[in-house]
């Protein structure tokens, strides 16, 4: 009998490792085929997929051995030229059902830094497609990864886990889109080239905003950033005229006073002849006089306003988490039933063959002993023997196909093999249960 | 009205109410983008509503405006038809959440208020009826769409300015989109409304002998003209770039309220102007 397969995932993520460790262990895109091939070349490893994103490095292995963690440690050590001592405490290992559930959670964005983010689904798909192209996936991982993508889709369709925007930059973009419909050809004015301001500017730029003016105390810095976004730097004393030209203004200077006063906004709105003006004040202390928000056509948001929207989105997504995890649990069980069918099928065949061979031998002996038996009696005896074998097999096969738990299934399989004198496996016949210490962080 | 007509009208109203519910309930599910679906219930309602109007037209042997309910039904059918027809090209699905509930309320309210009271025989001939009534009603239908966009705009603006973190603002169209819908709807409705009013005025002036020289002092004429003035102001000021989108939304709603009041005025003060009433003894075939 061949050794049963074990699904394992070994890796690290933002839950367990700081960015420096994740960076050190990341597989460059160009070298992933090489890593897949070297892992696949290890004896006992049948299928491999490597998922490498900015938040996680995970190696999924389907092997006829439960030594996946040692194999992956070896791969990471050799591939990156690092000592295992530097990263092994950040590694986690999941096996069997836990590994499957983990992949489903990852693909659905339930394990992501930003809960519910959709990008990881595409990354899982890309990892699977690359492995398929490199021929390091077989029947188990084809089924597993395709199933993970359908789970991700089901989770998103049946819940609000991906609703709303979960970062200040994306909230700013969405608000701008709710005011202007499209950001194409909209003009953005960034006052002060601070870090968050720059993030928001880049988000707006990525969403289609084209013309950009950057005003900063350091003109060279403003000029460099403006060039990157296809715009121009302006001097601080040109702010009033640029305020009227801009549709969206981001203010993020560290000035201790208001840079844009209500009167400035009033003048700008007048010059804009009723066109709306979206002001994002992410500076602390604030740069834009708050009473400007009272002006018709002016939409003023400060950093707390944006953060409030982000927090609402996150809490809304968290409320959805238990429903999503229930879906993952249900799909994991579905997959495990399929995987178990794959695993117990050889034993069931062996069991049937063995008992039917026994029946054949005993019948042969009996019929040789009574050669004068009428044909009708012979047929009836054979039918009775068949019925007897089938009745004997019915309960063990049922127990093998429908175990009450993974552990129970493993025990039943081992017991069946022993009771019926089948060849014993030398290792775990089924995916092992997780070790308590490997449980995922909350 | 026959039992069949009562049944057709009741089913149409029920389907409009159903369409309103279908538009509102998915919207209240947090942060799930409203799906663009064909307004099946509204299409069904339009079919039953058309059945009602056709049977009435066959019964009265002409345009169904014999009773106040006929007149209201014709106006409501044109309004719903204009909205459904424009839903695709103008991408109106975003304002359906506001439009259909308002429409259903108007339909139920106007249906109850107008009752089955017969109107006096219309004094307008067929040609003048078509030239006056139909453009005015289609114009009102355009204003109704613009009002739906205007109400949605005020709600969206309030949500955006209120900085409420609830995700409702994510689910409504952008302010720019709502402005555009309002502008296009008024741009189509206003010329038609003007043509209809002008046709009515020309007829009234030509037949001043029948209606009296002071036909322009009739309450409904004044109410209709007030509505026209409001929309004329909106069109002019927006073209001149002197009216903010917010103010235009408020004026659009005000104009439509005046339009609704015109029906109320005609109901309360029948006056002498067509099509609602005519002095005793005046033939409809003028």
CB atoms within 10 A of CB B226: 16
- Checking phi first, is residue A206 left (phi over 0); if not, alpha (psi -120 to 50) or beta? alpha
The pLDDT score that the predictor gives to residue A439 is 36
Closest CB to A297 among B29, B170, B246: B246
Cα separation of B173 and B97, whole Å? 11
pLDDT at position B286: 32
Residue in chain A closest to B173 (alpha carbons) equals: A178
Per-residue pLDDT of B86-122, as tens digits, reads 888 877 878 888 899 999 998 888 878 776 555 555 5
* Confidence label for A149 from pLDDT (cuts 50, 70 and 90): very high
Residue A107: give the domain boundaries: 6-158
Do A142 and A214 belong together in one domain? no
A181: contact with B, CB 8 A cutoff: yes
Distance from CA of A115 to the nearest CA of B (A): 15
Higher-pLDDT residue of B15, A283: B15
- Judged by average pLDDT, the poorest of A129-143, A208-222, A364-378 is A208-222
Per-range mean pLDDT, top range of A146-155, A193-202, B212-221: A146-155
Q: Report pLDDT digits (tens) over A324-351.
A: 999 999 999 999 888 877 777 778 888 8
Which ranges in A52-160 belong to alpha helices (H)? 68-80, 96-107, 119-133, 139-158
The least confident of A162-171, A194-203, A308-317, B39-48 is: A162-171
> pLDDT confidence of A262, banded at 50, 70, 90?
very high
Q: What confidence score (pLDDT) does residue A406 get?
A: 59
Question: What integer pLDDT is reported at residue A3 of this predicted model?
Answer: 54
**Interval A304-316: pLDDT, tens:** 888 888 888 888 8
Claim to verify: residue A151 and residue A174 sit in the same structural domain: no
Q: Do B170 and A160 touch (CB under 8 A)?
A: no
* Residue A230 CA from chain centroid, whole number: 34
pLDDT at B116: 56
CB pairs under 8 A between A and B: 70
Is A323 part of any domain?
A: no
Q: Measuring CA to CA, which residue among B148, B170, B168, B179 is closest to residue A177?
A: B170
Q: Is the pLDDT of residue A197 over 90?
A: no
B167 interface with A at CB cutoff 8 Å: yes
This model's pTM is above 0.80: no
| Closest to B85 measured CA to CA, from B134, B12, B142 | B142
Residue A298 among the catalytic residues: no
B-chain CB neighbours of A164 within 8 Å are 31, 167, 170
Residue A128 has pLDDT above 60, yes or no: yes
Choice among A212-226, A296-310, A423-437 with the minimum mean pLDDT? A423-437
Q: Does A299 touch chain B (CB under 8 A)?
A: yes
Pair A14, A154 in one domain: yes
Q: Are A154 and A174 part of one and the same domain? A: no
b/e burial code for range B70-84 (CB count within 10 A of at least 16 → b): bbbbbbbbbbbbbbb
Q: How far is A305 from chain B (nearest CA, A)?
A: 7
For B214, other C-beta atoms within 10 Å of its C-beta total: 10
Which residues on A lie below 8 Å from B30 (Cβ)?
Answer: 160, 163, 316
Shortest CA distance from B240: residue in chain A:
A273
Residues A20 and A54 in one domain: yes
How far is the alpha carbon of B30 from chain A, nearest alpha carbon, in Å? 8
CA distance B115 to A329: 59
Interface test with A, best of B27, B158, B172, B176 (most A CBs within 10 A): B176
Beta bridge partners of A277: A298
Q: In whole angstroms, give the CA distance from residue A234 to residue A225.
A: 11
Q: What is the predicted ipTM?
A: 0.76
A412 versus A16: the higher-pLDDT residue is A16
Regarding whether A18 and A134 lie in a shared domain, the answer is yes
Residue B242 forms contact with A (CB below 8 Å): yes
Contacts of A296 in chain B (CB under 8 A): 244, 246-247
CA distance B31 to A210: 28
The whole-angstrom separation of Cα A70 and Cα B253 is 72
Tell me which residue in B30, B163, B241 faces A305 most closely, judged by beta carbons.
Answer: B163
User: Which SS3 state, helix, strand or coil, does residue A93 take?
Assistant: strand
Give the 3-state secondary structure of residue A223.
helix
Do A22 and A12 form a contact (C-beta atoms < 8 A)?
yes
Which residue in chain A has the smallest CA separation from B167? Answer: A164
Q: Residues A291, A271: contact at Cβ < 8 Å?
A: no
* Yes or no, beta carbons of A297 and B241 under 8 Å apart: no
Q: Which residue of B has its CA nearest to A308?
A: B165
Domain C-terminal end among A158, A189, A205: A158
Helices B175-206 & A168-180 angle (0-180, nearest 10): 10
Residue A440 lies in a domain: no
Domain boundary, last residue among A114, A131, A158 = A158
- Indicate if A240 and A362 belong to the same structural domain: no
* CB < 8 Å to B167, chain A: 163-164, 312-313, 316
pLDDT score for B269 = 58
Please give the average per-residue pLDDT across A224-235, as a whole number: 85
Reply yes or no: is the peptide bond before residue B275 cis, omega within 30 of 0: yes
Residue B56 in contact with partner chain A when CB distance is under 8 A: no
User: Which residue, B224, A89, B281, B80, is CA-closest to B215?
Assistant: B224
Q: Do A313 and B242 touch (CB under 8 A)?
A: no
Backbone conformation region of residue B273, classed left if phi is above 0, alpha if psi is from -120 to 50, else beta: beta
Tokens of A19: 């960015």
Please check whether residue A314 touches B, CB under 8 A.
no
Cβ contacts of A182 on chain B, cutoff 8 Å: 176
Put simply, the chain B residues between 245 and 284 with a CB less than 8 A from any chain A CB are 245-247
> What total of structural domains would you count in chain A?
3
Characterize the bridge pairing of strands A232-234 and A92-95: unpaired
Are A299 and A367 members of one domain? no
Cα B150 to Cα B159: distance, rounded to the nearest angstrom: 14
Q: Is residue A337 part of a domain?
A: no
pLDDT < 70 positions in chain B: 28-38, 115-126, 165-167, 208-215, 265-286
* CA–CA dist B153, B246 (Å, integer): 8
Q: Are residues A14 and A137 in the same domain?
A: yes
Residues A138 and A172 in one domain: no
> Considering A52, A54, A158, A298, which one is annotated as catalytic?
A54
Higher confidence at residue B147 or residue A403? B147
Percent of chain A with pLDDT over 90: 31
Question: Are A196 and A136 part of one and the same domain?
Answer: no
A20 pLDDT more than 70:
yes
Tally Cβ neighbours within 10 Å of residue A315. 13
* Domain annotation covers residue A96: yes
Q: Does the CB of B58 have a partner CB in chain A at under 8 Å?
A: no
The whole-number pLDDT of residue B51 equals: 93
Interatomic CA distance for residues B64 and B70, integer angstroms: 6
User: Are A239 and A359 in the same domain?
Assistant: no
Q: Which residues of B touch A316 (CB under 8 A)?
A: 30-31, 167
Using an 8 Å Cβ cutoff, are A422 and A351 in contact? yes
Nearest to B241 among A178, A274, A296 (CB): A274
Across the interface, whether the CB atoms of A296 and B246 are under 8 A apart is answered: yes
Mutation target vs B (from A162, A164, A180, A181; most B CBs, 10 A cutoff): A181
- The average pLDDT across A65-69 equals 70
- The share of chain A scoring above pLDDT 70, in percent, equals 92
Query: Touching check for B174 and chain A: CB below 8 Å?
Result: yes
Side by side, the strands of the sheet bearing A187-191 are: A232-234, A211-215, A187-191, A248-251, A277-281, A298-302
Find the CB nearest B174 among A163, A177, A273: A177
Establish if A175 touches chain B: CB-CB under 8 angstroms.
yes
């Amino acid at each position: 009998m061949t050794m049963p397969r074990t699904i394992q995932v070994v890796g690290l993520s933002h839950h367990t490792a700081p960015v420096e460790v994740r960076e050190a262990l990341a597989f460059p895109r160009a070298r992933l085929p090489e890593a897949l091939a070297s892992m696949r070349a290890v004896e006992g490893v049948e299928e491999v997929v490597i998922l490498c994103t900015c938040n996680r490095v995970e190696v999924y292995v389907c092997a006829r051995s439960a030594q996946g963690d040692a194999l992956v440690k070896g791969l990471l050590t050799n591939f990156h030229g690092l000592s295992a001592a530097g990263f092994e405490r950040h590694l986690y290992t999941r096996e069997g059902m836990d590994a499957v559930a983990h992949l489903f959670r990852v693909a659905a964005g339930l394990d992501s830094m930003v809960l519910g983010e959709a990008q990881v689904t595409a990354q899982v798909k890309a990892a699977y497609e690359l492995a398929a192209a490199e021929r390091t996936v077989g029947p188990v991982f084809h089924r597993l990864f395709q199933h993970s993508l359908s789970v991700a889709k089901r989770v998103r369709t049946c819940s609000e886990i991906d609703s709303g925007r979960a970062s200040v930059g994306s909230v700013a973009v969405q608000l701008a889109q709710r005011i202007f419909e499209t950001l194409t050809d909209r003009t953005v004015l960034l006052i002060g080239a601070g870090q968050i301001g720059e993030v928001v500017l880049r988000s707006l730029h990525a969403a289609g905003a084209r013309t950009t003016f950057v005003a900063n105390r350091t003109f060279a810095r403003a000029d460099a950033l403006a060039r990157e976004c296809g715009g121009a730097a302006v001097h601080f004393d040109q702010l009033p005229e640029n305020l009227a030209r801009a549709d969206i203004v981001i203010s993020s200077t560290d000035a201790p006073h208001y840079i844009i006063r209500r009167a400035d906004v009033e003048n700008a709105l007048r010059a804009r002849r009723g066109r709306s003006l979206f002001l994002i004040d992410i500076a602390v202390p604030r740069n834009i006089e708050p009473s400007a928000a009272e002006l018709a056509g002016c939409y003023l948001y400060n950093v707390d306003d944006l953060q409030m929207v982000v927090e609402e989105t996150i809490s809304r997504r968290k409320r959805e988490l238990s429903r999503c995890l229930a879906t993952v649990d249900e799909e994991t069980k579905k997959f495990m039933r399929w995987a178990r069918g794959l695993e117990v099928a050889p034993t069931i065949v062996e069991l049937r063959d063995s008992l039917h061979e026994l029946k054949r031998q005993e019948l042969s002996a009996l019929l040789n002993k009574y050669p004068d038996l009428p044909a009708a009696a012979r047929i009836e005896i054979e039918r009775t023997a068949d019925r007897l074998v089938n009745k004997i097999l019915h309960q063990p096969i049922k127990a093998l196909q429908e175990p009450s738990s993974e552990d129970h299934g493993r025990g039943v399989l081992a017991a069946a093999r022993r009771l019926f004198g089948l060849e014993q496996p030398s290792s775990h016949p089924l995916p092992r249960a997780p070790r308590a210490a490997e449980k995922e962080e909350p | 009205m026959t039992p069949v007509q009562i049944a057709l009208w009741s089913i149409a109203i029920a389907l409009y109410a159903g369409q309103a519910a279908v538009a509102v309930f998915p919207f209240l599910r947090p942060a799930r983008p409203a799906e663009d679906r064909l307004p099946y219930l509204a299409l069904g309602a339009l079919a039953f509503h058309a059945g009602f109007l056709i049977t009435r037209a066959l019964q009265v042997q002409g345009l169904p405006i014999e009773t106040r309910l006929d007149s209201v039904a014709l106006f409501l059918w044109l309004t719903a038809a204009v909205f459904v027809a424009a839903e695709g090209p103008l991408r109106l699905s975003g304002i359906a959440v506001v439009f259909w509930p308002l429409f259903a309320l108007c339909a139920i309210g106007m249906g109850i208020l107008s009752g089955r009271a017969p109107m006096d025989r219309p004094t307008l001939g067929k040609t003048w009826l078509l030239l006056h009534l139909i453009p005015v009603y289609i114009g009102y239908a355009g204003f109704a769409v613009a009002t739906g966009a205007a109400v949605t705009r005020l709600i969206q603006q309030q949500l955006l300015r209120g900085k409420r973190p609830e995700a409702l603002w994510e689910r409504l169209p952008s302010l720019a989109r709502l402005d555009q819908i309002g502008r296009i709807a008024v741009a189509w409705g206003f010329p038609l409304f003007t043509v209809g009013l002008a046709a009515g005025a020309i007829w009234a002036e030509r037949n001043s002998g029948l209606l009296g020289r002071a036909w322009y002092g009739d309450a409904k004429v004044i109410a209709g003209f007030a509505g026209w003035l409001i929309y004329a102001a909106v069109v002019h000021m927006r073209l001149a770039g002197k009216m903010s989108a917010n103010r235009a939304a408020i004026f659009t709603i005000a104009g439509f309220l005046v339009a609704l009041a015109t029906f109320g005025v005609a109901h309360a003060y029948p006056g002498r102007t067509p099509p609602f009433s005519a002095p005793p003894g005046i033939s409809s075939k003028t």
